[in-house]
Amino acid sequence: MCYITAIIPAYNEEQTIGSVLDCITKVEEITQTIVVSDGSTDKTAEIAAAYDIEVIDLAENVGKGGAMKAGMERCTNENVVFLDADLIGLTEKHVKDLIMPVINNDAEMTIGIFKNGRIVTDLAQKVTPYLSGQRAVKKTLLDRIPNIDITRYGVEVALTKFVEKNSIRTKEIYLEDMTHVTKEEKLGLIKGMQARFKMYWDIVKILSSNDNKEQIK
């Protein structure tokens, strides 16, 4: 059997990280799980450490791209699944639907799209599916993307641009009855909107970058 590593970047996700790990640790194809606590100031790392997994506790917040890169450096399998730490309603079926096309070589990358979860998150992913943080991917593909750690919240866009430019086989997977906690719910309306605008700015920088620059080759 071809196995897979789960990498979960997490920043102050003590409310949801446990339920995500409860699900992931039941999936037999996942033989390595790595939680990267990205400078969290709550109990994210402590809760994750209670499971039989690897926890990387970064002292400073380096952004999602940097957290994913830290996890990839510890990856021991040829396939990787990235999952957000704030998912609500994640099931073993969701995970298997994401990973099996990559494991079976039917696709080099899958992209998870929320469906029938909540209107606010369903709509966002229908409009911009390339922002989804739920992906399974061949590690050899990830190794071809330089400087992925500096893309911060533009990392999903960087992945999408790379696969489009290089005609990588991808498959969209609908994740029924799943959603995630919004930034406004986590941080409050004002701080949440500020964090969202910062994320959009990171995304705009990636979208507007020249393909000949170092970030994406």
pLDDT at 182: 58
Judge contact between 41 and 68, C-beta under 8 A: no
pLDDT at 121: 45
pLDDT higher at 1 or 26 = 26
Q: How confident is the model at residue 202 (pLDDT cuts 50, 70, 90)?
A: low
Full set of structural domains in the chain with CATH: 4-208 (3.90.550.10)
- Please state the three-class secondary structure of the chain as a single string: CCCEEEEEEECCCCCCHHHHHHHHCCCCCEEEEEEEEECCCCCHHHHHHCCCCEEEEECCCCCHHHHHHHHHCCCCCCEEEECCCCEECCCHHHHHHHHHHHHCCCCCEEEEEEECCCHHHHHHHHHCHHHCCCEEEEHHHHCCCCCHHHHHHHHHHHHHHHHHHCCCCEEEEEEECCEECCHHHHHCHHHHHHHHHHHHHHHHHHHHCCCCCCCCC
Which residues have C-beta within 8 Å of that of residue 108, sequence separation ≥ 6? Answer: 102, 137, 138, 141, 163, 168, 169, 170
Determine what percent of the chain is predicted with pLDDT higher than 70: 70
**What strand order describes the sheet that includes 170-176?**
54-58, 30-38, 4-10, 79-82, 135-138, 109-115, 170-176
Give residue-wise pLDDT tens across range 37-72.
999 999 999 999 999 999 999 999 988 888 988 999
Give residue-wise pLDDT tens across range 82-123.
999 999 899 999 999 999 999 999 999 999 988 764 444 444
* Mean pLDDT value of segment 185-197: 60
pLDDT at 159: 79
pLDDT at 145: 75
How far apart are the C-alpha atoms of 7 and 160, rounded to whole Å?
Answer: 18
pLDDT at 47: 97
